[in-house]
Structure 1
Amino acid sequence: MSAGWNTIESDAGVFTYLLTNLGVRDVQFEELIALDADLLRQQAPIYGVIFLFKYPTGEKPSHTPRDGSFDYEAAENLFFAAQTIQNACGTQALLSVLLNKEGEVEIGEGLREFREFTGAFPSELRGEALSNSELIRDVHNSFARSSPFISEEQRLATEDDDVYHFIAYTPLNGVLYELDGLQPAPIAHGACTPDQFPDKVIPVLQRRIERYPANEIRFNLLAMVRDLRIKAQEIGDQNMLYQEEQKRKAWRWENALRRHNFVGFIGEVVKGVAGEKIKQGDYDKWIEDAKVKTRTRYEEKKKAGQDVEEVGA
């Protein structure tokens, strides 16, 4: 049996270096903090956006989408893959944009060969090929957060679980498409050129968010754009170039940390500190001091009128 797909975070640094490690050049992701067309336009050129949202597990399949219309012909002419495995939807969403941008973006030899190999496949078989691609799966899994508490063999989600899903939006052949591997075909949202994309996609995203209760805020939006260091160099903005280089440095550090779990290390540190306190005869005093500090914080919060739970003496 082939190895499974692990969960990865919806993070600009993760997605940027995931593509880099797949051989893609001059592409990065930027997180958008607001649904604002002008904010999105500032990142131009924009290849598409990746949207993360809480998936309604109890929702029944439909022959017509709630917004837009299925374009079954586009399912044959574009790169569109059915989602056939859990935990791969983030990578599948970004590839749904990227593999439709060959000619605009240097996608690298590995992905080019994969696209050519699956070009004549129906969407279901494309999804199976993607799920079984060792290259894509291994790079994807290299960005999973290391944890000793999560098994790779995860159970299927139920209606009681919080399940999150990634989909992509991109302008292709003069049409704004929603690419969702759980749907039977790409969903067309009307005419759209690359220049119109910021103004066209924001209302579609707003309508989707409006389906949820007002207190639901768990959404994330990432824009796939050209490497912003190139723009900084083209316009001669040294400050922007420095900021982008610092951003990349921070992303590399964060991605390195994701590959390690520190539970064992922390456990050894705690054991070492406790052992040293016992050795010095300070262990009981150390525990009592901690209790006093906890009690003091509790009393301070209580006086400030904050809701607190009773703590042990």
Structure 2
Amino acid sequence: MINLSEFHRYVAENQPNICQVTVVHHDRTMINDSWNGYQEDDTVHTMSVTKSVVSLLTGIAVEQGLIGSIDDYVLDYFPDYKIKRGEKTIQKVTLKNLLTMTAPYKYKSEPWSKICVQEDWSIAALDFLGGRRGMTGEFQYSTLGIHILTGIIARESKMTTVDFANKYLFEPLTIAPRKMYVAPDAEAHKAFTVGKAPKGNIWFSDGKGVGAAGYGLCLSAEEMSKIGLLCLKKGVFHNKRIVSEKWLEESTSARLCCGEKFRDMKYGYLWWIIDEKEKSYAAIGNSGNVIYINPKNRLVAAVSGYFKPTVFDRIDFIKEQIEEKLKNK
């Protein structure tokens, strides 16, 4: 059993950047608490939690027929793109490669200064897709490269990514609509990324109005818990089908092992697989932002945090301070 006052004190003393925690266990909200001056409906920049939300949006786009198949080649959706001279690999890259982080890129570290100054980040990311090494099947974690996915959703739906998400995901989840936020300059971009104050209902976007696919979405822990509940209920929320059960099953199944750098976790379609036996999985972002789903225990735990780099113990925190204690309830 969780003593709420003890839990609040533990978080304040041991997880100082946590802003909110929402926990739902067997359809009951067990924890809905806040720290660091945050209110229940304040939002944080969830960082790479955004990626898993984009996975859901991709599944919705597939279900609607906007995307034919994730086995389609990326360039099928950019017929006017001019391939660089000598570049052959890009023609072999599929949407599945983007979703599983097995797409090859022509860089060792993410080229923020070269992509984020462009108006159309999807085209700028395409310029870095491919390379001489070819299709290796290796895991190459990317935050900027997968912007191509939100670019495809915007192109095929004829809507901004944010409007698409509002209509087909957030509104059905009773999450307030997000608004696009385009940083006027590099300084504002950095301030958005590392700022510790609440963000508002926004999604960082490029100059074309395409929401960043790898980061940039701002949510509260309670809102993240609704996304977790949608997944726990196999794509249904308040008796309404939002995402197909088949897509959720596919996207949260382990596709490859990510190595020691990533704590030997496995990866699905922009979801981290925590425990294959329990079929638990999570959306994980920098600063320890997490949506954790364990179907076996009927548990959803959502944690929001202000910017603090290299927080690597948040899943351990959820398992030890929340999941284990609820098992003993």
Q: State the TM-score, normalizing by the size of structure 2.
A: 0.23
Q: State the TM-score, normalizing by the size of structure 1.
A: 0.24
- Please tell me whether Structure 1 or Structure 2 has the larger radius of gyration of its CA atoms: 1
Larger relative helix fraction? 1
